[in-house]
Structure 1
Amino acid sequence: MPLPFPSESAPIIDTVILAALELERAAVVRALGEYVEYPWRGRKLQMGTIGDRRILVVPLDGMGNVNSAYVAQRAIGIWNPAQVLLVGIAGGARAGAGDLALGDVLVPEQVVGYELAKVTPTGAVPRYEVYRPDQELLAVARGVAADDWTTGIRIARPDDSLAVPCARFGPVLCGEKVVADETFLASLQTSWPKAIGIEMEALGVALAAYRGGPGFLMVKAVCDFAGEDKDDLWQRYAADAAARFAVAVLHAFSAPGAAGQRVQAKPLGAVNTFPGTVKLVVCQRLLDDWEKVADYFDVPPHNRAPFRHGRQARDLWVWLEIRDKLHELPDALTVIGRADLAEILRDSQA
């Protein structure tokens, strides 16, 4: 139900919810309840509130990871949210969870990109890209009680049963294909036997969030099993189930800081550059502790591998710089026991 737009022209947005399809966007708006129309560049977005947090629903206007990464990156740059959620529908992988049912909600512990590969004379060798969701959001999602979301589902089950969906946690596969072949899905599960689903946008959003700073979580519900009998019958129900679960997660999530003093993805005015002399001193003194810093930022092994021997600290610095994360380096150095280097960075900005 739309309400009058607030008087301030640029309200703080705490959470952005992304949806690829119109039925997914509509389900999220229904789950939020009351909302205001947020005018933005000739269109109207929907903004709701949960507690003292403002939630903005942003359509992806299409499928695929390239599109989702682009829209997510723009949303992060414009609104600087603390969290980005991707909500909608997905294909289920029964081999990863034997009793998986249509309408069940999937929450990834890992988002696994399966498209990247090396082509050799003997065939393509996959090089899986793996990203993890925000651990705090994931922990909250695990604690959401069934009654907190299943009772809110407003779309009738297509099978007319009284079955209640449940939330599933595990790896979710992500690529650029609409999969309607369980043989293809089974081939992916030879490497990821515990995968619970497959979809097309989470990798792009996860990458944008990883580079941009906000906490990321995907919530999608099973609308089919990615087989030849794939159809649209369960899509509206699955979209509603996913939206209700996502809103329940946000209700349960206790964001640090009061309204207007929240922890942003990147604090406004945060420094993301330091003088060259300071960079030189910090990198020279970091020595083998660079690995602890890499662990703090969860730098994947395939990103660490190209770091040059003896120059790993400098290469790590560049890695953080291009991902707009240098403003977090003083805190990281303090956590790993190098408060001396953290002080040098902070003093350079005093």
Structure 2
Amino acid sequence: MIVTALAEEQDAVLAVLGDVPSGTAVVDGLRVAVESLHGMGNPGAAGSGGTVLARWGARRLLLVGIAGGIGAAGVGFGDVLVPDQIVGYESGKVRDDGVLRRPEVYRPDFTLLTAARAVRPADWAPARPVHVGTVLSGEKVIASREVLDELRAGWPRAVGVEMESLGTALAAYRAGGGFLMVKGVSDLADAGKDDRWRGHAADAAARFTLALLRRLAAAAGDLEVPGSVRLLVCQRLVGDWQRLAIYFDIPAYERAAFARGPGPDGVWDWLVARQRLRELPDALDFIGRADLTAELRDAR
């Protein structure tokens, strides 16, 4: 499910998807619905996002559009932002000495984020960098370097600011679904804000999203395993997933991220996003877990 806040963002998505009858398209066999959130802002996104998820019975929600980039983080016009965390920074307590912020933080869907990381430059637009990091989500359009610097003091890994991802993430969370944001940089959230890059930024986000969908569609054609078998295999891999990650040459920084959550599930989703789940039985044999190989082969 793809949602956008503005008409120009939706137009860019529809342009790259091609023929979209009745709001749906098929990308390499993957059915995708496209709808508008009917306006900017997190409160509206939370309500509209939940409605469209229920209407389509979708499992995952992609928010696509434009955002402000943070130049000090190396972000430029037309680049693409993908969050590894969404921070809602508006909530807080106003005191005599200033505002004590009480942020709301959401993590994106791991499978979607892993697939986004796996998109290669040649898949969509070689000249455009993709920045993965913290995205700050609030209720106001920011066009002030001073405000931006104050926000970055609290979240130094921030790469961008926008106004709908917190609400959309909340809608997906309430519905038990996954969420990811993909937005192109139309301005640098300072006094030089103008409209010259909006169309280009919307197009960049839409094209990257199409490449992401193709990654997901290709992964869907990989080894098919029932959920019950996945749960069984991952439960029994708790002590061995690190060796499995080394077998697949998973980078150390990604292994570190897996260690903060269910490690075996992290490895599984990493393989799915790269269409390599079919290699898992041989890998399990190699690390001495033929018992799990048998579980996978019996399920096919």
TM-score in terms of structure 2 length: 0.72
In 2, Cα distance between the equivalents of 1:121 and 1:142? 43
In 1, Cα distance between the equivalents of 2:99 and 2:120? 43
Question: Which of 79, 90, 93 is the matching residue for 1:104?
Answer: 79
8 Å contact from structure 1 (residues 172, 195) kept in 2: yes
Partner in structure 1 of residue 124 of structure 2: 149
1:118/1:255 Cα in 2 relative to 1: closer, same or farther (>3 Å)? farther
Letter in 2 for 1:238: A
Question: Which of 228, 251, 276 is the matching residue for 2:214?
Answer: 251
Partner in structure 2 of residue 228 of structure 1: 191
Partner in structure 2 of residue 185 of structure 1: 148
Partner in structure 2 of residue 275 of structure 1: none
In 1, Cα distance between the equivalents of 2:91 and 2:218? 35
Structure 2 residue 97 is the aligned partner of structure 1 residue 139: no
TM alignment of 1:66-105, pairs within 5 A = 66-95=43-72, 97-98=73-74, 100-105=75-80
Letter in 1 for 2:8: L
Letter in 1 for 2:53: I
Q: Does the residue aligned with 1:109 lie in a helix, a strand or coil? A: strand
Partner in structure 1 of residue 173 of structure 2: 210
Q: Does the residue aligned with 1:253 lie in a helix, a strand or coil? A: helix
Q: Does the residue aligned with 1:196 lie in a helix, a strand or coil? A: strand
Say what the alpha-carbon RMSD is for the aligned residues.
2.1
Partner in structure 1 of residue 200 of structure 2: 237
Letter in 2 for 1:78: R
In 1, Cα distance between the equivalents of 2:218 and 2:165? 23
In 2, Cα distance between the equivalents of 1:50 and 1:92? 29
8 Å contact from structure 2 (residues 108, 180) kept in 1: yes
In 2, Cα distance between the equivalents of 1:146 and 1:238? 16
8 Å contact from structure 2 (residues 30, 217) kept in 1: no
8 Å contact from structure 1 (residues 101, 165) kept in 2: no
8 Å contact from structure 2 (residues 76, 188) kept in 1: no
Q: Does the residue aligned with 2:62 lie in a helix, a strand or coil? A: strand
Task: Return the offset for 1:122.
Answer: 2.8
Partner in structure 2 of residue 174 of structure 1: 137
Task: Return the offset for 1:229.
Answer: 1.1
Q: Does the residue aligned with 2:153 lie in a helix, a strand or coil? A: coil
Structure 2 residue 100 is the aligned partner of structure 1 residue 125: yes
Unaligned runs of at least 5 residues, structure 1: 1-15, 39-45, 152-163, 264-294, 297-350
In 1, Cα distance between the equivalents of 2:10 and 2:85? 24
In 1, Cα distance between the equivalents of 2:100 and 2:218? 42
Unaligned runs of at least 5 residues, structure 2: 227-260, 263-300
Number of positions where the alignment pairs a residue of Structure 1 with one of Structure 2: 227
> Could you give the per-residue CA deviations for residues 52-85 of structure 1, whole angstroms, max 9, x where no partner exists?
2211110111100011111101011221202110
TM-score in terms of structure 1 length: 0.62
Task: Return the offset for 1:30.
Answer: 0.8
> Could you give the per-residue CA deviations for residues 155-189 of structure 1, whole angstroms, max 9, x where no partner exists?
xxxxxxxxx21111000000000111111111000
In 2, Cα distance between the equivalents of 1:21 and 1:146? 26
Shift >2 Å, 4+ stretches: 119-123, 254-258
% identical aligned pairs: 47
8 Å contact from structure 2 (residues 27, 217) kept in 1: no
Structure number with bigger Rg? 1
In 2, Cα distance between the equivalents of 1:255 and 1:176? 37
> Could you give the per-residue CA deviations for residues 201-255 of structure 1, whole angstroms, max 9, x where no partner exists?
0000001101111211100011110111100000000000000001110110148
In 1, Cα distance between the equivalents of 2:56 and 2:164? 20
Letter in 2 for 1:51: D
Q: Does the residue aligned with 2:64 lie in a helix, a strand or coil? A: strand
Partner in structure 2 of residue 25 of structure 1: 10
- The structure with the largest helix share of the pair is 2
> Could you give the per-residue CA deviations for residues 21-60 of structure 1, whole angstroms, max 9, x where no partner exists?
1110000001112221x1xxxxxxx211112221111011
Segment drifting more, 115-124 vs 210-219: 115-124
In 2, Cα distance between the equivalents of 1:33 and 1:215? 25
8 Å contact from structure 2 (residues 68, 187) kept in 1: yes
